[in-house]
Amino acid sequence: MSGAPSLWLVGLNHRIAPVAVRERLAFRGEVLPEALRQLRTAAACHEAAILSTCNRVELYLVADHEESEMRRRILTFLTAFHNLAEHDFAPSLYWMREAEAARHLFEVAASIDSQILGETEILSQTRGAFRAASEAGAAGPMLGAIFQRAFFLSKELRGQGGIGHARASVSFAAVKLAEKIFESLKGRRVLVVGTGEMAGGILRTLKAGGVGDAVVLSRTLERAEAFAAAEGGKAGTLDQLPEYLLWADIVLVSTAAPHYLIRPEMVTPVMAKRRGKPLFFIDISVPRNVDPAVNKLDDTFLYDIDDLESVADEGRRVRQEIAEHWRPRLADEAHTLLLRLKDCNTDQTARRLLEHANELRAAEVAALMKGLNLDEAAARKVAHALERFQGRLLHGPLSVLREAAREGDGIGAAQWISRFFHLHQGHGGGEAPKGAPGEGSQNQA
Amino acid sequence: MSPFTLSVLALVFYAAAAGVALGGLRSERLRKGPWLHLGVVLGVALHSASIGLFCAKSETHFFTSLSESLWLFSWALCAAYLVLLAGWAVRSVGAAILPLASALLALSFLLSSSETGPAPANEAAELPVFAVHILSAFLGYALFLIACAASVFYLQAHRLLKRKSFGALFGGLPSLEKLERAATHCSWMGLALFTIAVGTGATMARQTMQEQWYMEPKIWASWATWAVFFVLVLGRLTGRLAGRATAKVILLGAVLVLVTLLIGHPFREEAPPPKTAQAEVRR
């Protein structure tokens, strides 16, 4: 091993690698503990975590190898673990170090590196990856601090940044529009015309938004009943359409009919009876099943699949803007955190060194006093002399630590000082946990 | 602390709340934060204290000059908006109401500095129902204007939903139903208060003005305003008015409110001379 321990990231994602490559490199949940164990051995690293989702496989490591050595070890591990040829996946890998790697993790957890910006699943997957690493004893203080910061920033981006508020799917666009028409979705009644698969998805999202009863109408009662059984609600046939238009607040149309099923002539008398209660039509059929002229009637709002897509596109654009706005902040956070982690390491080492020296000096002074039987004044002079000697002796190492921390190589300097002076965890009650740089390097050497 | 100082502080809070309400049309963070409520509550509290202090100290007739009327009307607007916030949480309406209230309060400061001496005395101001009339009229007008603002927002949201064009403003607008409900409830409350104002106003006019008191344009305009909002309430109760039609009737009512306010106060010095001898002497 050589150099100071660094944060490493090796991985591939949906942007670089096709699913055929991603699936071969994926780590299933049940193999993660064994994979982490093998990775730590193969990479001879202090800390490791593996994030494996359908869109990405990423290895986060804290190790103190040179770059070529690190690459060789990781590639050996991946080829051996997955039984693959290096050329099958190596060109797709991205390699990052230090602040760049931390920034990448922040972006991943905050879902601004995701295929669907602002999605929420990646945060729980990242949490799962860190939990697995912790349980396997592979996560240490550095990965701990970086992952915890990533979780915090992700929460902040969702709350304060509002990335989750911009609707970016057709289903959410439908809910967003319904929320702009109705005061609350709670208790609203949905009429589903047709049994298309997409209608089921939108109905589920509407139900999650609080809508109440649903009625499904289809050409045949059997199909309607099957859909109603799967998604919930009552079933009926298309000839009941006019009566249910009066009953419903939201009409979701998704049939394979090649013509308009709902025309202004059908809706006009219904709207007269509704006395100003708005009616929201969502027509996701292609070809369309609701005559666009229905939108011209008072208190009716008709949105077809293209309209919903454009609302979703707007949501995606907003999310993109939020992501772009947050990227520099995440990069700054990564840089600051890594500097702080390194400073923290040098501070701990300096404190441990001083406490170690104090302990040794106190023991020597006690032994000396016992043998020499000096009077109080002489004993004080001897103690002061030894204290001055200790100060002069440690001046050099402590200055080196300070300078190294300033130059960004604090972890390396701390590691060497620890080795020279045999500083272990017990000395001085330092809080460097298992796997901390310095400790780890001795274990691994 | 003097009433003026309290009013200036109230203006600061109103202006800050107006800024938050305007910003809230675009920023979700501002829309969801507590700053709007805080600004309006503190502003109304300070403004109420300044009015109370002024009424306690004043030895002359009050709210008969234009500056005092604007001062009271800006309070009525914000107090009515506070009721709307508490009951229907339609924050976005504040983007129209709070800047207006702030501007009226600032204007009242400017006018008060140019007005010299005490407000002209008039007989109506001495009647016991005068305070009830003024307060109910101003609160009624304020509620009508808030209903008007909610209706404008309703029509805009309706237009955007129909045209399927969603700009930054769209995100800041509440749902159509919420806006409609807020506008209707403000109209109902406004009509209740305005009925008191019209009733007390008619009583005062009969007592203090000439035989043909009901020929005053201001009084005709007030009755027309009352009639429009009465029709609105009736239409809503019978289910004949809804959606855009409600909003349009409210806009018509609001136009009449403005006309009534612009025609002027019939009990001021511009009004026909009071019929009692005592009032003649005072003049």
Spell out the domain ranges in chain B.
Answer: 1-117, 120-283
The conformation of residue A377, written as its DSSP 8-state character, comes to H
- Check: pTM over 0.95? Answer yes or no: no
Q: Is A159 on the interface with B (CB under 8 A)?
A: no
Specify the DSSP element, H or E, that contains A230.
helix A221-231
Specify the DSSP element, H or E, that contains B78.
helix B66-88
Checking if the pLDDT of A426 tops 60, the result is no
CB distance B167 to B205 below 8 Å:
no
What pLDDT shows up at residue A439? Answer: 35
Q: Is A212 on the interface with B (CB under 8 A)?
A: no
With CB atoms and an 8 Å threshold, state whether A314 touches B175: no
pLDDT band at A370 (very low <50, low <70, confident <90, very high): confident
Q: Is A277 on the interface with B (CB under 8 A)?
A: yes
| pLDDT tens per residue, range A335-345 | 888 887 776 67
Chain A CB contacts of B237 below 8 Å: none
Q: For the stretch B227-256, what's the b/e string if a residue is b when 16 or more beta carbons lie within 10 angstroms of its beta carbon?
A: ebbbebbebbeeeebbbbbbbebbbbbbeb
Tell me how far apart the terminal alpha carbons of chain B are, to the nearest angstrom.
Answer: 34
Mark whether A54 is an active-site residue: yes
From A19, A54, A80, A362, active-site residue: A54
Mean pLDDT for all residues in chain A = 83
Checking if the pLDDT of B127 tops 70, the result is no
Mean pLDDT for all residues in chain B = 82
Please say whether the structural domain A170-313 has been given the CATH code 3.40.50.720: yes
| pLDDT tens per residue, range A324-362 | 888 888 888 888 888 877 766 777 788 888 888 888 888
Name residues whose C-beta falls within 8 Å of residue A398's C-beta, 6 or more positions apart in sequence: A350, A353, A354
What pLDDT shows up at residue A140? Answer: 82
Inter-CA distances, A385 with A200, A366, A368, A390, A394, Å = 84, 14, 13, 9, 14
| pLDDT tens per residue, range B221-261 | 888 999 999 999 999 888 888 888 999 999 999 999 888 88
What pLDDT shows up at residue A156? Answer: 85
CB distance A32 to A130 below 8 Å:
no
What pLDDT shows up at residue A374? Answer: 77
Chain A CB contacts of B161 below 8 Å: 177, 180-181, 301
Q: Is A325 on the interface with B (CB under 8 A)?
A: no
How far is the alpha carbon of A299 from chain B, nearest alpha carbon, in Å?
7
Range A152-176 average pLDDT: 76
**Torsion sign over Cα A120, A124, A130, A133:** negative
Chain A CB contacts of B246 below 8 Å: 276
Please tell me the distance from the alpha carbon of residue A183 to that of residue A190, in angstroms, as a whole number. 15
With CB atoms and an 8 Å threshold, state whether B240 touches A303: no
* Number of other residues whose CB lies within 10 A of the CB of residue B83: 16
Checking if the pLDDT of A154 tops 70, the result is yes
Domain spanning B1-117 has what CATH number?
A: 1.20.120
Chain A CB contacts of B177 below 8 Å: 181-183, 278
What residue ranges in chain B does DSSP mark as E strands?
Answer: none
What pLDDT shows up at residue A23? Answer: 83
Question: Sheet holding A94-97: strands in order across?
Answer: A47-52, A56-63, A6-13, A94-97
How far is the alpha carbon of A276 from chain B, nearest alpha carbon, in Å?
5
Please tell me the distance from the alpha carbon of residue A143 to that of residue A46, in angstroms, as a whole number. 10
Where along chain A do its domains lie?
6-165, 170-313, 339-444
| pLDDT tens per residue, range A168-188 | 677 788 888 898 899 888 889
Dihedral-angle region of residue A276 (phi above 0 means left; psi in -120 to 50 means alpha; beta otherwise) = left
With CA atoms as reference, report the closest residue to A268 among A296, A248, A244, A240. Answer: A296
- Rounded to the nearest 5 degrees, what angle is found at the Cα of A257, between the Cα atoms of A252 and A262? 50
Inter-CA distances, A286 with A192, A195, A196, A265, B100, Å = 16, 13, 11, 21, 49
Please say whether the structural domain A6-165 has been given the CATH code 3.30.460.30: yes
Please tell me the distance from the alpha carbon of residue B206 to that of residue A33, in angstroms, as a whole number. 93
